Amino acid sequence: MNRPSAHWPVPIGAAASRAGVSARMVRHYESLGLLASVARTESGYRQYGEADVHTLRFIRRARDLGFSIEEIAQLLGLWQDKARASAQVKQIAQRHIDNLEGRIAALQAMQRSLQQLVGCCQGDERPECPILDDLAAR
C-alpha cells in the first residue's frame, strides 16, 4: 500500500502523532529547549517540519531507553554535531548503563527483602503480620 506523501509543515497534533508523543510533550520538550522554537502561522499556531518530527522521534527513543533530560540534551547536541567523536556518545551511554545497573541491583535487593517478608507472613485472619512489624521497626 502506498502511503501518501507527507505535507510539511504540519500542526502540533500531526507532528506529535507522527513522532509517537503527545502534543503536551511536544510543548514540554520545546519549553526545555530540546526542540528548537518552530515557525508559527499568522494566528499563532505552531508549524513543524520533517526535521522537527525526526528530532521528536530521537527524544522519544532516548526517553524510552531511560535517558534523563540532561543526557538527552547532550545526545541531541552530539547528534546534530557532525564533527562529534563517537567516544563522547559512548561515554554518556556507558554512564547510563552503570546507573541502570545500580538501580537494578537496588530493585533486586528490595524484591528479595519483600519476598522474605511475604514468605514469613501467614496471610490469614490473625492480626500478626511480619511485613508490618518490619516496616514499623525501621
The string of DSSP codes covering 10-79 is B-HHHHHHHHTS-HHHHHHHHHHTSS---EE-TT--EEB-HHHHHHHHHHHHHHHTT--HHHHHHHHHHH
32 and 59 co-located in one domain: yes
- Whether the pLDDT of residue 4 is over 60: the answer is no
User: Quick one: pLDDT at residue 5?
Assistant: 53
Give the number of domains in the chain.
Answer: 2
Supply the range of the domain harboring residue 28. Answer: 1-72
pTM: 0.82
62 and 122 co-located in one domain: no
67 and 97 co-located in one domain: no
CB atoms within 10 A of CB 80: 11
Comparing C-alpha atoms, which of 23, 21, 11, 22 is closest to residue 48? 11
Query: What's the pLDDT tens digit per position in 17-59?
Result: 999 999 999 999 999 999 998 989 899 899 999 999 999 999 9
Last residue of a domain, one of 72, 107, 130: 72
Domain holding 56: CATH number?
A: 1.10.1660.10
128 and 101 co-located in one domain: yes
- φ/ψ (deg, to 5) at 39: -65, 155
Q: Kindly state whether residue 80 falls inside one of the protein's structural domains.
A: no
